[in-house]
Structures are given as C-alpha cells and as structure tokens.
Amino acid sequence: MSALQQIMWNYVGLVRTTRRLARAVRQLRTLENEIERFYRSQALTDDLVGLRNAVRAAIIVANAAWVNRQSVGCHYRE
C-alpha cells in the first residue's frame, strides 16, 4: 500500500505531466501484476482484497488523468 501511495503522490498528484503520468501508469501496471499473482496464490484477507482494489482504483484515476488534459479544480497539468 505504501508503494501505491508513493506512486500516486509523486506522479498523479497536484502537478501532472505527460511523462510523470506515463511513468505512473507503467509502475501501477507492474504493481497490479505482482499483487494479482500474490492474490491468486494466498489465502484471502481483507487487507489483500483492499490492496487489490486500491491498485485497480489507482489505475483508473491515473488513466483518467492521462486522458484529461484540462487544468481545472485542484490539480495542474503541465
């Protein structure tokens, strides 16, 4: 969860650039693959399900930020 938080804060935070968003999406996909492999091989827990859902939500947010080039609200796109 810590890695996920760092990726989102550093690359999908208040100031967004195309390069940083691309890096975030790449790292989130890698993290998603690792979590999915772990998810399928371990007993389910609330924390594991929450982590899997959190990384998927982060990918949705990062992809939405990638598509939206407007700077409105509480973020800025360079």
The pLDDT tens digits for 3-35 are: 999 999 999 988 888 999 999 999 999 999 999
* Tokens of residue 61, six digits: 């947010």
Question: CA dist 33 to 30, 69, 73, 76, Å?
Answer: 5, 27, 32, 29
Give the pLDDT of residue 74: 59
The pLDDT of 29-58, averaged and rounded, is 95
Give the pLDDT of residue 23: 97
* Tokens of residue 11, six digits: 């690359």
Average pLDDT of the residues of the chain: 90
The pLDDT of 39-54, averaged and rounded, is 95
Give the pLDDT of residue 32: 96
Angle, vertex CA 20, rays to CA 14 and CA 21, nearest 5:
80
Give the pLDDT of residue 10: 94
